[in-house]
Chains A and B, each alone.
Chain A
Amino acid sequence: MTMQTVGRPTRPEDVQPLDSGFASLTGGRGLLQDEALIFERDGWGKTGVDLPAVDAAADDLGDLVRTSPIGLPGLSEPEAMRHYVRLSQKNHAIDLALYPLGSCTMKHNPRLNEKMARLAGFADLHPMAPLPTIQGALTLMDRLSHWLKTLTGMPAVALSPKAGAHGELCGLLAIRAAHEAKGDPRRRVLVPTSAHGTNPATAAFVGYSVTEIAQTDDGRVDLADLEAKLGPDVAAIMVTNPNTCGLFERDIIEIARLTHAAGAYFYCDGANFNAIVGRVRPGDLGVDAMHINLHKTFSTPHGGGGPGAGPVVLSEALAPFAPAPWVVHGPEGLTLVEETVEEAAQAFGRMSAFHGQMGMFVRAYAYMRSHGADGLRQVAEDAVLNANYIKARLSGVMTPAFPEGPCMHEALFDDSWLEGTGVTTLDFAKAMIDEGFHPMTMYFPLVVHGAMLIEPTETESKQELDRFCEALIALATAAKAGDVDRFKGAPYLAPMRRLDETLAARKPRLTWKPEPGVAPAPLAAE
């Protein structure tokens, strides 16, 4: 999921300076050190790696050899360790507290998965190693595929997409290839107004124009509008289900029927599959293609922004167009189809070099095996239960965007309850940081004013949920009581105060450069 910045302030103009009357002499904050960039350290010539001397010369390369300095500082091992550990302490993390980013699914990342991905047989395995030496890897891919196909009720899966948005791209390329194969290239893709930004961006990337579909007052796709906009030039519809309002599309089967009747395909954004895994199979809903974010539903770590993994399950109609490579059973064990010829002649091409995010496949498979089919169903149920619990507990002080009926795995609030307080959604979110919680997703989906989208996930205990709810109730009470400074100045207690995003965009400084007039740190003589 992505941050929405439309309509929200990006400059801390109203922020009060910290007026506690106390500042450290060094810029440090208790255990949090003020940590310079590696480029601002002395002695660039150091190295933290001991390497043997070389006696050969590169005289065979002539003037291809670099003669100018690169400009890289080096750190000894203790310095590097300390630098990066200090930096790590300035991050929030799911291992520290609830991380309620709606649509992002910040759940516990089991360390067993990390351990398994580091087994030499997986981590130290070359993608182009001879087939007899990679049978275990292909077996794992085959088993993962079986689980994904079974859980989704779909007949085929393309494992190679490297992230959710890459999976969307894969799905739409398959759809495009299917239409082209019928001699009926189509031009348009329909996307609800509440969609993730990646949906319209992907459709445009694949060469389609995008038409938005309206939403009903109860937060679902407007069937009448969909019917009106479907036509012979529509290639596909892209619908997230459960949708970005955290609601199940009640008319999903009808949406699929209308889409198919118009000769279009149904792409489902599977970002929220974690809400229904084990209870609903997208294949039973009429879906033709859906990406699965292994880093959401199947617990692979987000790593500060990737790597993700976005396998795409495909219907019978789209399966022949899946990209290379894939695993097949052969007479001498498992093998890979890597070229788009012969049996793969209809494949639309290749998503990337090699076979996809194997490291993530191992982690996701370890997670699936740990939970089993029974545990995965419980995952969806607890995720939905936790979200509804938050919705119920906070509805007394905040305004749910869709109060009627249950939500799925995330609870969506609007900002009407903040009206007249002088506090915005952004201010409220920043004040949560001072209370030790990561903010929820803000200002998304766009269809809800000042949206606050809370996704607790199934890995939170009731006690932690209560702590979270009580913090938010206290903050909401303070906002309504006129304690505006608490919000306008927030955060006060984080490693940094509110940052000026407008300045960053107006005068982009994207790399470190030596101060004018100051020579860069010298490289120690070798």
Chain B
Amino acid sequence: MRYLPLTPDDRAQMLGVIGAATIDDLFADVPAAARKSEPFDLPHHAGELEVERELSALAGLNRAAGAGPFFCGAGAYRHHVPATVDHIIQRSEFLTSYTPYQPEIAQGTLQVLFEFQTQVAALTGLDVANASMYDGSTACAEAVMMARRVTRRKRAVLSGGLHPHYAATTQTIAHAEGMDIVRQTVAIDAEAAVIEAIDSETACVVVQTPNVFGVATDVTAIAEAAHAAGALLIVVTTEAVSYGLLKSPGEMGADIAVAEGQSIGNALNFGGPYIGLFTCKEKLVRQMPGRLCGETVDADGRRGFVLTLSTREQHIRRDKATSNICTNSGLCALAFTVHLSLLGETGLRQLAAINHAKAQRLAKALAAIPGVEVLTKRYFNEIAIRLPGNATQMVEALLEDGIVAGVPFSRLDPAAGLDDVLLCAATETTLDEDIDAFAQALSRRIG
């Protein structure tokens, strides 16, 4: 077996040193009733060639996003990732290292995390960022829990434009914590409706911009209303490239900002692994979940980095910890940071402008089709459209034309009664010809 270095001779010698007759002696503590002696009904070992053949066949049953015109978004976006990023994250020293608990021999990972935290804080316009969460949805749930700790209140208001998976994830966790979650009716462009739901028991309001329908909102007034009631504003973003064009959550008064960072540096990966971004105002840092990297000096006085403020965390505080989170999304954070370092401010702004321009072109092309209504007025790179019929059926029909038209909203939330709504995203990977082909096919199918 290619992954096992011990030879039968080694094993015999080692058993001799241990003073055991057989390997079974080392499993003597396992109760007899629990020893599995008959073989499993599973295949035996296989060489690289065989494994590669099976997995390539499975991969071949999928249609990759890059195989043709493709417009899915809804919280996961297809962007181009520079080859340099994938090379760096496959460096053995990054790929095969553990959490940087021995900082003297983990400065590579730690300095990257410090750069990552600084980049994320800058993007969101807030003071401090942690070293990442599992993904945007779990970051959202953790932010609500954090608001509860900060305000000692139990009620959270989720806007009707919050991604339904984010709302469900937050409701699942918050229910267990005994929180009262008010999820507003799903609405395409009504983030400000949360204002009326804020009361003196409200810990936080959660508003997504651009929201799940692609609608970008200035949340300044919501922040003011929340603060006036002693509540926190949590701003959620699922498309991190939008930070290159739109005002940041911090500029608009957010106390906590969370985001899905997949768009920068990370592939679609069928939904994971992704990377949750989590930032907040400095005064809230001690209630933050997750790992934090901080600057310090070594015994010779040289600057270095360590994991810090760990008294918030489960390995020290156990049942009093701010969260049970143990891992972050380290390698995805590295990919994010390398990609963003390559882009820089100049590149990110340019990339964001291209995304927006592609969406403008898409919106224009679709709006010109009789029977199609573009519902999203202020968008970044994603729009919601209303079709004359069922969106799921239309997506299936357009698949026959070789086009993946987008995500039917009913796939995310069947109970919302928006069966005719389709979410369509465009990025820098979208060709103008793709947009034209989509518009023509849709026009033909409707006509």
- A505 CB contact (under 8 Å) in B95, B311, B323: B311
Contact among B35, B323, B347, B412 with A74 in the assembled complex (CB-CB below 8 Å): B347
B4 and A378 contacting across the interface, CB-CB below 8 Å? yes
CB-defined contacts of A112 to chain B, threshold 8 Å: 48, 51-52
Contacts A64-B218, A135-B61, A135-B62; A51 near B137 (Cβ below 8 A)? no
- Given contact pairs A132-B396, A205-B323, A305-B330, enumerate 13 new A-B contacts (beta carbons under 8 Å): A49-B343, A126-B76, A130-B396, A198-B324, A353-B135, A353-B271, A358-B271, A369-B43, A370-B2, A373-B42, A405-B29, A500-B297, A512-B114
A323 vs B168: C-alpha distance when bound (angstroms):
11
Give the chain B neighbours of A303 by CB distance below 8 A.
89, 94-95, 97, 330-332, 334
Q: Which residues of B contact A384 (CB under 8 A)?
A: 23, 26-27
Contacts of B33 in A (CB 8 A): 253, 284
Are A44 and B246 touching (Cβ within 8 A)?
no
Residues of A within 8 A of B87 (CB): 81
Q: Which residue of A lies closest to B47 (CB)?
A: A370
Q: How far is the CB of A293 from chain B (nearest CB, A)?
A: 9
A-B contact count (CB 8 A): 729
| Bound CA span A202–B318, Å | 9
Find out whether the CB atom of B65 lies under 8 angstroms from the CB atom of A125.
Answer: yes
Instruction: Tell me if B184 is interfacial: C-beta within 8 Å of chain A.
Output: no
CB–CB A510/B294 < 8 A: yes
A490-518 interface code vs B (CB 8 A; 1 in, 0 out): 01001111111101110011111000000
6 nearest A-B pairs in the assembled complex, by CB-CB distance: A74-B344, A121-B59, A354-B271, A349-B172, A303-B331, A136-B61
Minimal beta-carbon separation of A186 from chain B (angstroms): 13
Chain A residues within 8 Å of B295, by CB: 504, 509-510
Which residues of B are found within 8 Å of A341, using beta-carbon distances? 414-415
User: B112 to chain A: which residues have CB within 8 Å?
Assistant: 84, 87, 304
Chain A nearest CB: distance from B171 CB in Å? 6
Task: Tell me if B178 counts as interface (CB < 8 A to partner A).
Answer: yes
Partner of A360, one of B13, B273, B323, B340: B273
CB-CB under 8 A from B428, the residues of chain A are: 51
Q: In the bound complex, what is the Cα–Cα distance between A156 and B55 (angstroms)?
A: 23
Distance A164 CA – B315 CA, assembled complex (angstroms): 14
CA of A356 to CA of B269, assembled, Å: 10
Given contacts A37-B114, A70-B244, A495-B107, contact A373 B2 (CB under 8 A): no
Q: A388: which B residues are within 8 A, CB to CB?
A: 14, 18, 20, 26
B389 at the interface (CB under 8 A from A): no
Q: From B99, B105, B307, name the one whose CB has the most chain A CB atoms within 10 angstroms.
A: B105
User: Which A residues are in CB contact (< 8 Å) with B315?
Assistant: 2-5, 196-198, 444
Q: Would you list 17 pairs from A and B whose C-beta atoms are within 8 A, ordered by A residue?
A: A54-B350, A61-B356, A84-B112, A91-B107, A112-B48, A121-B60, A133-B399, A198-B324, A247-B29, A306-B273, A352-B134, A369-B51, A433-B105, A497-B298, A499-B296, A505-B311, A511-B118
> How many whole Å from B31's CB to the nearest CB in chain A?
6
Taking a contact as CB atoms under 8 Å apart, the answer to whether A61 and B331 are in contact is no
Cβ–Cβ < 8 Å partners of A153 in chain B:
36
B329 touches A307 (CB 8 A): yes
Binary per-residue interface labels of chain B (323-349) against chain A in the complex, 1 for a CB within 8 Å, 0 otherwise: 111111111101000101111111111
